Amino acid sequence: MAFRASHRHARISPRKVRHLATMIRGKFADEALDILRYQPHRGARMLEKVLLSALGNAQDPDQNPGRTISAEQLVVVDARVDGGPMFKRIRPRARGMAFMIRKRSSHIHVALEEFSNL
């Protein structure tokens, strides 16, 4: 059973978070948390929060009755960063021109699964 968490409409460009998602994909959850904690990027904090939320979902007795799962038993099977909607702004330029400013957002998804189920 996969335990999922997501952060939609995160105000960061997907390009800045995708390399972090690639770093933790396939790792054990506790190892992935250690990797993210020592990254000096703003996106690492966001991805860490989503990963902690997925860990909380795995340890929730309502979702997983009668069993306790630790972070050492869970593997990050899916860490995905998709593009979200863009805020579009206008920047005035010389000679009456205008350039478009695209403020990008992201949808961050993380899925954990028990190591014995893989």
Yes or no: domain 3-117 corresponds to CATH 3.90.470.10: yes
Q: Terminus-to-terminus CA distance in the chain, angstroms?
A: 10
Q: Are 52 and 33 in contact (CB under 8 A)?
A: yes
Question: What pLDDT is recorded for position 65?
Answer: 76
Please give the chain's pLDDT, 118 residues, in tens.
789 999 999 999 999 999 999 999 999 999 999 999 999 999 999 999 999 999 999 988 787 777 778 889 999 999 999 999 999 999 999 999 999 999 999 999 999 999 886 6
3-state secondary structure of 7: strand
Quick one: pLDDT at residue 26? 95
Q: What is the pLDDT of residue 118?
A: 63
C-alpha distances in Å from residue 56, one per residue of 50, 62, 100, 107: 10, 11, 40, 19
- Torsions phi, psi for 98 (to 5 deg): -145, 135
